[in-house]
Amino acid sequence: MVRYYILFENYEQGLRLHELLDGAGVMNRIAPAPAAARGKLCCGMSLLVEADAIDAARDVIAREGAAHHSIVPMEDQLRPKRDRYC
Amino acid sequence: MIYLDNAATTMMKPPCVAEAVTAALTSLGNASRGAHEGALNTNRLLYRTRGKLADFFGCPKSEQVIFTNNSTEALNIAISGTLRPGDHAITTVLEHNSVLRPLYRLQRERGIDLSFVPADRRGLIDYEDFERLIRPDTRAVVCTHASNLTGNLLDIRRIGAIAARHGLLFIVDASQTAGAVPIDMVDMGISLLCFTGHKSMMGPQGTGGLLINGDIEVEPFKVGGTGVQSFLTEQPREYPTRLEAGTLNGHGIAGLSAAVDFIRRMGIDAIRAHEIKLARRFCEAVSAIPGVVTYGDFTTWERCPVVALNIGSADSALVCDALFCDYGIATRAGAHCAPLMHRALHTKAQGAVRFSFGYFNTDDDAEASIEAVCEIAERIGK
Amino acid sequence: MRTKERRLIVAFYTTHDAMAFEDYCLSRGAAGRLIPLPREISAGCGLAWSAPPGDMAALTALLAGAGIAPQHIKEMEI
C-alpha cells in the first residue's frame, strides 16, 4: 500500500501545513520522516497522508502556498496491527 | 506512553525539581541587579548551585562554573572562546552537531584545521589515533564523553592524559553522561566540561553549564548586561561574569539545584545501575530476535543506557512510528544530529531507532518494549 | 530619611566573593549584611558587606578565613 510523506525543512513549516490540512478536513498525521526519503535539507518531522487524501492535500498546499520540501510516495513496510495506541 | 527517549531529554523529572521551579517562580528577583531580598535570593541560589556543581563535577573553583542554556551554548563558548586562527583541533566522528557545527564554523571563519578520529562499525575508536593526529599547531582535543547514538563511552581519563602530555586543551561534551556517569574534571584531565541540565541531570530544559578547570582564558561568546561594572565598555574579565551576559535562567537553575540534590540523595551509582539493568535486559532480548541489528559495543556495560537498532531493512522512521502509534513507546529515529556517526555505522540511508532508558523507566517498560520489537519484526515484509 | 550610622564597609571585586563572604559570615554567626555598594566607593561588585563599626581586625580575620581578598574596607557613615 502506497502512502505519502510530506517533508519539510523545519518543524514550523510542518506544523503550519498540519494546521491548514486539519482546517480543511484533509486526513493527515505527524510521523517521523523516513530515512530513505529524507535528504540533507529535510527535518525529522513529516506529514503522513494516505493515497485517497493526497490530491486534496496538494490542493491545500497550492491554495495556501504552504512551504514544504517535497512529497514522497512510499510503500508501507509493516503489516497493520489490530489494536492501535493512536 | 512508555518514554524511552531520555537521551533527547528526560521527560519525567523528580518531584523536588518541579517544586523548586514552582517556588522560584514567585520568589526570585534578578541576580546582581539590586541588593534587596529578591535579588539576593537569586544571588544566593546561583552561588550555592555553582558550589554544588563544582563539587559534583570535581571543578576546583566554583566561580569557574558558568551557567549556560544547555550543552550547545557551553560548547559554543568553549570552542569559539579558546580556538584561535590557525589552530588545529582534534575531534571524533562520534560527535553531535553541537560539537561539529561550532568547529566547522571556526574552520570557515577562522581557518582552523580539523582532524577526526574515525570509528569502526561498532562505533569504537583507536585511542592511538589521538596521538597520531597531534601536530605542532594542535591546540585542543574536543570530544564527547559518550555517543548519543550508540551509547558507547569514551575513556576520557585516557584521552585527558594524552592531551595533558602534549599541553593541549581538553574540551569534553558531557551531554549524555552528566548525571549518568561519575565525572571528576581533575582526575580525568578535563580542561573545559560542557553539560546540559535536562537529560540525565533530570533538571529543566534551558539549563546547563561550562566548567573551567585551571587558569584558562575563554573569550566571551556574548556580551551585554552583567549588573556589575556598568561603566565598562567591555565585558568584565572576572569569572563567572565574563561568560554570563544577561539575566540567567534563575527559575531553571533552582530546578537544576534540586536535581543535583536528588542525584546525590539517590546516589549516581544506584541510578546508573538501574538504567543499565533495563538497557541490558532490553538489548539482550532484542538481539535474539531475527532481523534485529544493534549498533554499538555491547561487550561491556560500561556504557550509557542506550540501544540503537534496526529491524531488517525497514526504514527506522516507520519502525519508530509504529512503536509509538501501535504500542505507545516513544523512541527516536532519524539522524540524531550525529551525521558522522551514522556514516561510520553505515546507517545513513536507513537511520536507526534509538531506545534510551532513564531513572523513571521500569522493568515493565523494558518488557513491553521487547514485545513490541518482537511483534514489529514479525509484521515487517510479509 | 533614616539616621546615618557608622559601619565597616567591605567592597568586593566580584559578586561571587560577596556571596561567598555572606555564606561564610552566616555560618559563623558574624554580624553584618549585604547592602548596595555606597556611591562613594567604586568596586567590581554592586553589593557590599556592612558590619558593625570598630573591630577592623576581626573583620579582616573573617575575610582571610573565607579566603576572600576585598577590593576595599572602609569605616564610614552610611
Domain boundaries along the sequence of chain C: 13-77
Is-contact B258 B14, C-beta < 8 A? Answer: yes
Mean pLDDT check: name the lowest of B253-257, B299-303, B341-345.
B341-345
**Cβ neighbours of B240 in C, within 8 Å:** 16
**Upstream peptide bond of C52 is cis (omega within 30 degrees of 0):** no
Contacts (Cβ under 8 Å, ≥6 apart) of C16 = B47, B50, B62, B63, B238, B240
Query: For chain B, how big is the Rg over CA atoms in Å?
Result: 21
3-state secondary structure (DSSP) of residue B293: strand
Chain B touching partners, 3 or more CB pairs below 8 A: A, C
Q: Within 13 Å, how many C-alpha atoms sit on residue B345's CB side? A: 29
Instruction: Compute the distance between CA of residue B279 and CA of residue B281 in angstroms, rounded to an integer.
Output: 6
Domain count of the fold of chain A: 1
Do B248 and B277 share a domain, yes or no? no
Mean pLDDT check: name the lowest of A48-57, B55-64, B364-373, C2-11.
C2-11
C-alpha cell at B259: 536535581
Do B111 and B186 share a domain, yes or no? yes
Helix (H) or strand (E) holding B315: none
Instruction: Output the domain CATH number for residue B105.
Output: 3.40.640.10
3-state secondary structure (DSSP) of residue B141: strand
Is-contact B307 B297, C-beta < 8 A? Answer: no
Domain count of the fold of chain B: 2
- Residue A12, chain B, CB below 8 Å: the answer is no
Is-contact C19 B47, C-beta < 8 A? Answer: yes
Helix (H) or strand (E) holding B365: helix B363-379
- A86 lies in a domain? no
Do B127 and B212 share a domain, yes or no? yes
Using one digit for the tens of pLDDT, what is the confidence trace for B25-79?
999 988 877 888 889 999 999 999 999 999 999 999 999 999 999 999 999 999 9
In this predicted structure, the answer to whether residue A84 has a pLDDT above a threshold of 70 is no
Of B258, B292, B272, the closest CA to residue B358 belongs to B272
Using one digit for the tens of pLDDT, what is the confidence trace for B218-247?
999 999 988 777 888 889 898 999 999 999
If DSSP states are collapsed to H, E and C, what string results for C7-71? EEEEECCCHHHHHHHHHHHHHCCCCCEEEECCCCCCCCCCEEEEECCCCHHHHHHHHHHHCCCCC
- A61 lies in a domain? yes
Q: pLDDT above 90 covers what percent of chain B?
A: 91
3-state secondary structure (DSSP) of residue B36: coil
Instruction: Compute the distance between CA of residue B333 and CA of residue A32 in angstroms, rounded to an integer.
Output: 7
| pLDDT recorded at residue B228 | 77
Of B318, B316, B321, the closest CA to residue B351 belongs to B316
Of A33, A34, A81, the CB nearest to B379: A81
Domain end, chosen from B266, B285, B315, is at B266
Q: Which domain holds residue A54?
A: 2-75
Domain end, chosen from B266, B294, B311, is at B266
**Cβ neighbours of B325 in A, within 8 Å:** 84-86
In this predicted structure, the answer to whether residue B212 has a pLDDT above a threshold of 60 is yes
Using one digit for the tens of pLDDT, what is the confidence trace for B157-172?
999 999 999 999 999 9
**Cβ neighbours of B318 in A, within 8 Å:** 32, 34, 76-78
Q: Which domain holds residue B284?
A: 2-10+268-379
Once rounded to an integer, what is the mean pLDDT over residues A6-32?
A: 96
Do B183 and B162 share a domain, yes or no? yes
| Global pTM exceeds 0.90 | yes
| pLDDT recorded at residue B341 | 92
| pLDDT recorded at residue B382 | 52
Do B227 and B297 share a domain, yes or no? no
Using one digit for the tens of pLDDT, what is the confidence trace for B99-133?
999 999 999 999 999 999 999 999 999 999 999 99
In this predicted structure, the answer to whether residue A83 has a pLDDT above a threshold of 80 is no
Q: Chain B: residue nearest C33 by CA?
A: B35
Do B51 and B171 share a domain, yes or no? yes
CB contact under 8 A, A77 and B315: yes
Contacts (Cβ under 8 Å, ≥6 apart) of B336 = B96, B148, B149, B342, B352, B354
Instruction: Output the domain CATH number for residue A15.
Output: 3.30.70.2750
| pLDDT recorded at residue A86 | 56
Is-contact C9 C18, C-beta < 8 A? Answer: no
Do B260 and B324 share a domain, yes or no? no
